[in-house]
Amino acid sequence: MPAPAPHPTSGGPAEVLVVGADLLGQGRADLLLRDGRFADPATAGPAAERLDADGLVALPGLVDLHTHLREPGREDAETVATGTAAAARGGFTAVLAMANTNPVTDTAEAAEHVAELGRREGSAQVVPVGAVSKELGGVELAELGLMARSSAGVRVFSDDGRCVHDARLMRRALEYVRAFDGVIAQHAQDPRLAGPEACCHEGELSGRLGLPGWPAVAESTIVARDVQLAQLTRSRVHICHVSTAETVDVLRWAKARGVDVTAEVAPHHLLLTTAAITGYDPTFKVNPPLRPDEHVAALCDALSDGTIDAVATDHAPHARHDKEHAFGDAASGMLGLETALGVVLETMLLPGRFGWREVAERMSVVPAHIARLAGQGRPLAVGEPANLTLVDPAARRVVDRSASASLSRNNPWHGRELPDPVVATFWGGRATYRR
């Protein structure tokens, strides 16, 4: 059964012929984009726009499992329109929009509203994530089944920003979503070991800077519990933004036992270290916090060997006035959509840790599968939805936070040279970004 194509608002030429792209680094071919799908290039009409892709690599459109779009509620920080424009700029054709908006996405109506905003204003497919608990309160289950049955078809549930800390609630949530092939995406942070004030990896630097510590075990102990709950309930658990070597060890153990667990890592945890906060710059305040070198190395290894399944941005826009506080008082989070692929190339592809096929796997195919998105992360083959990202492997630039599609400027890469690979993004055959 062919996967349904998304139906973005139309625009641009009816046909685009991409000439000579290197498909996932496996060999050169032409791609014809017609009516939202890939078609046989030999059938291209004379009016087709020709896009010379000499030297470019073609990837399936990227899928971000972890985006904060801030709409509804904080449209001064980001909107569906600006957040998905940033996504398109970063090569993404689908984003999962986290539930911690205002109001919280904890009902079918709220989820449908977010999905509708995406259809109307998005430059990428917007897939709502439903809250696990009402109002993210961690006490009672949200209407998981109604969100799943809604036209938004929610499959990923998360209280992200907060941990589902109550073990019984977590168990019930895991059991309950099994009925509709849902997954619980856990923000693993034991609130007793790392409370709301925790803002610096607990270690030498937290002691020296006098910042409340966020110990690595506050993450790994929750993950150890949740993989066992997933095994008990024969359900699916996904671990958000893995940040510690200890969590990687737990994931390896769980996967070896056959637990249905998947995990993501954020680009910033692959490259930035605790040292970035030495000057108390809140741009580098993020939750979970940046970790020391040995954790960063463990995360890169885990992404390389598949212990960590996916890269997800945790794109977290914040208004300037929510960041320009003392470090401990400032909002947590950093931008990520526009720079994610560049960071993955810098940390994984260029050092030879993996190739283009793995880039496509970890940033498109696997995230789409975790979220059960039928039309994303598909092969670049005739008949498939035309979700395509064209990248120039050699392009680099110094990141400039003012040159962003996002409304916010909390960009931790500002001033740093990174690969800047995305040349064009097509979502359902429509160009959502062209350099």
Partner 1 sequence: MRHLLSAADLSLAATTEILDLAEEMAQVQARPVKKLPALRGRTVVNLFFEDSTRTRSSFELAGKWLSADVINVSAKGSSVSKGESLRDTVLTVAAMGVDALVIRHSASGAPGQAAQWTDAHVLNAGDGTHEHPTQALLDAFTLRRHFRRTEPDRETFAGKVVVIAGDVTHSRVARSNLLLLRTLGAEVVLVAPPTLMPAGVESWPAATSNDLDEVLPEADAVMMLRVQRERMSGGYFPTAREYTVGYGLTRDRLTLLKPGAAICHPGPMNRGLEISADAADAANSLILDQVAAGVAVRMSVLYQLLGGEDAPTPIRGEA
Residues of this chain that bind partner 1 (CB under 8 A): 202-211, 213, 279-281, 320-329
- Closest CB 212 distance from partner 1, rounded Å: 8
**In the complex with partner 1, which residue's Cβ is closer, 151 or 402?**
402
Distance CA 401, CA 339 (A): 11
Between residues 120 and 320, which has the closer beta carbon with respect to partner 1?
320
Q: Tokens standing for 1?
A: 């059964």
How far apart are the C-alpha atoms of 79 and 196, rounded to whole Å?
26
Residue matched to tokens 């390896």: 252
Beta bridge partners of 263: 239
Beta strands in 218-278 (DSSP E): 237-239, 261-265
Report how far residue 329's alpha carbon sits from residue 119's, in angstroms, rounded to the nearest whole number: 36
Closest CB to partner 1 among residues 321, 397: 321
Q: How far is CA 281 from CA 9, 238, 328, 410, in A?
A: 41, 31, 10, 11
Q: Are 435 and 420 in contact (CB under 8 A)?
A: no
Task: Extract the tokens encoding 156.
Answer: 């990923």
In a 13 Å sphere around the CA of 140, the CA atoms on its Cβ side amount to: 6
Number of C-beta neighbours around residue 351 at 10 A: 11
- What's the closest the beta carbon of residue 70 comes to partner 1, in angstroms? 17
Minimum distance of partner 1 from residue 331's CB (angstroms): 10
Coil, helix or strand at residue 185: strand
- Residue identified by tokens 């790392």 is 194
- Residue pair 164/192 in contact (Cβ under 8 Å)? The answer is no
Catalytic residue among 314, 329, 392, 420: 314
- Choose between 150 and 220: whose C-beta lies nearer to partner 1: 220
In angstroms, the Cα distances linking 387 to 209, 375, 423 are 46, 8, 14
Residue closer to partner 1, measured from CB, 78 or 322: 322
Tokens of 73: 């509620």
Q: Closest separation between CB of residue 415 and partner 1, Å?
A: 15
CB of 218 to partner 1, least distance (A): 13
Name the minimum Å distance from CB 291 to partner 1.
13
With CA atoms as reference, report the closest residue to 334 among 131, 93, 78. 78
Q: Which is nearer to partner 1, 256 or 326 (CB)?
A: 326
Nearer to partner 1 among residue 182 and residue 282 (C-beta): 282
Residue 187 CA, chain-centre distance (Å), reads 13
**Nearest distance in Å: CB 204, partner 1:** 3
CA-derived radius of gyration, the chain = 20
Q: Name the minimum Å distance from CB 167 to partner 1.
A: 21
260 an active-site residue?
no
| Closer residue to partner 1 in complex, CB, 233/283 | 283
Are 182 and 156 a contacting pair, CB within 8 Å?
Answer: yes
Q: Which residues pair with 391 in a beta bridge?
A: 57, 422
| C-alpha–C-alpha distance, residues 204 and 299, integer Å | 20
Residues 51, 18: contact at Cβ < 8 Å? yes
Three-class DSSP category at 232: helix
Two tokens, residue 434: 């062209």
Residues marked active site are found at: 314
